[in-house]
Amino acid sequence: MPIDATVIVAGVSVVGMAVAAIPTVADALDRRARRNAGIDLMDQAQKFDFARDSIAGRESSAWDER
């Protein structure tokens, strides 16, 4: 039983679209990882800033009271 040419073309196009989507998905995952790393870095900097201010005897909220 021969396979219809339309089925072959549809299969090739589906495979082509899947292969073409790989870089897009990989880029989205990379951007998400970089964004999360930036957020983690800012959170860590704020924690260290609060710890430094607490050790010095003032909290970060004290800057608003000046």
Per domain, the residue ranges of the chain are 5-55
Predicted confidence at residue 53, as pLDDT, reads 72
Predicted confidence at residue 65, as pLDDT, reads 54
Taking only the tens of pLDDT, the chain with its 66 residues reads 788 999 999 999 999 999 999 999 899 999 999 999 988 888 888 888 777 777 766 655 555 555
Task: Give the Å distances, CA to CA, from 15 to 2, 10, 23.
Answer: 21, 9, 14
Q: Per residue, what are the HEC states of 22-52?
A: HHHHHHHHHHHHHHHHHHHHHHHHHHHHHHH
Predicted confidence at residue 42, as pLDDT, reads 85
The pTM of the full predicted model, rounded to 2 decimals, is 0.48
